[in-house]
Amino acid sequence: MPMEDQKPHHVVLFPYLAHGHFIPFLALAELIHRRYPTYTLTLVSTPLNVQNLLSSLPPTFPIRLRALPFSPSAHGLPSTAESTADIPFDLFINLFQASEALKPAFDQLIADIIQEEGRPSLCIIADHFLGWTVQVARKHGVFHSIFITGGTYGTAVYFSLWTHLPHALTTSDEFSLPDFPDTRIHRSRLAKNILVADGADSWSVFLQRQISLCSGTDAVLANTVEEFENTGLRMLRRIMGIPVRPIGPL
């Protein structure tokens, strides 16, 4: 057997701080364990989220949980706010921005895994809202994948809307997406935060940065099926320019 195949395999999963993102990441962890039972699986989050997961998951669940230090109050959040379930929508942007403060601790976690395990065959699978994890992967020379927890059509439209803000360039109620001219969007279907976005607001700055960083990943995993979302997958592959692999529905 080649020496490369004898390396331990370790997958680090990092969902965004929202219950709707934890659930598909846990399902993905179960899928990986069923197919590759010898792989070490680690899910990363903040202390209270890890505590909640420990109390809800069965003791035999095949995943290690690691907490990264996090101080919500340092980012204008209530002291116990570590997920979107803990705050009103108006504070969501604070949590999004605060997630970037986890980068140094996550970087150290990856360095520790490499040191402790003798540079394993390591893969980071991160949420698309955590595009900054691509930079950590590149620093340590490990494989990186973005995991799209929802549908690919919606994600492609979401990425295109936030990247170009086409509604801000017209007074018409209906407009096309620059990436997909055949896709028409009505202004009434936009959320309040994007309706008022101008490219310099906090939402635009954060999301455009994460979307741009996501394009540097090695691959994209999508919680969908090719036969269900052929159009959405084609759209997402087009704007990202990297492999998008449907692995769902999880």
Q: What is the pLDDT of residues 147-180, one digit of tens each?
A: 999 999 999 999 999 999 999 999 999 999 999 9
127 is catalytic: yes
Instruction: Say whether pLDDT at 55 is over 50.
Output: yes
5 falls in which pLDDT band (50, 70, 90)? low
Q: Which is catalytic among the residues 19, 33, 107, 127?
A: 127
CB distance 68 to 136 below 8 Å: no
* Span 183-237, pLDDT tens digits: 999 999 999 999 999 999 999 999 999 999 999 999 999 999 999 999 999 999 9
Helix axes 133-140, 103-117, angle to 10 degrees: 30
pTM here? 0.94
119 falls in which pLDDT band (50, 70, 90)? confident
User: Residues 104-121: what's their mean pLDDT?
Assistant: 93
Among 42, 50, 46, which residue's Cα sits nearest to residue 70?
46
Q: Which is catalytic among the residues 21, 128, 144, 167?
A: 21
7 falls in which pLDDT band (50, 70, 90)? confident
Task: Using CB atoms within 10 Å of the CB of residue 114, give its burial: 0 to 12 exposed, 13 to 18 middle, 19+ buried.
Answer: middle
Backbone dihedral region for residue 77 (phi beyond 0: left; psi -120 to 50: alpha; all else: beta): beta
The average confidence (pLDDT) of the chain is 94
Instruction: Say whether pLDDT at 4 is over 60.
Output: no
Q: Residue 156: CB partners within 8 Å, gap ≥ 6?
A: 179, 180, 232, 235, 236, 238, 239
Q: What is the pLDDT of residue 179?
A: 94
198 is catalytic: no
Instruction: Say whether pLDDT at 25 is over 80.
Output: yes
Q: What is the pLDDT of residue 1?
A: 33
What are φ and ψ of residue 221, in 5° steps? Answer: -100, 135
Among 45, 52, 54, 6, which residue's Cα sits nearest to residue 25?
45
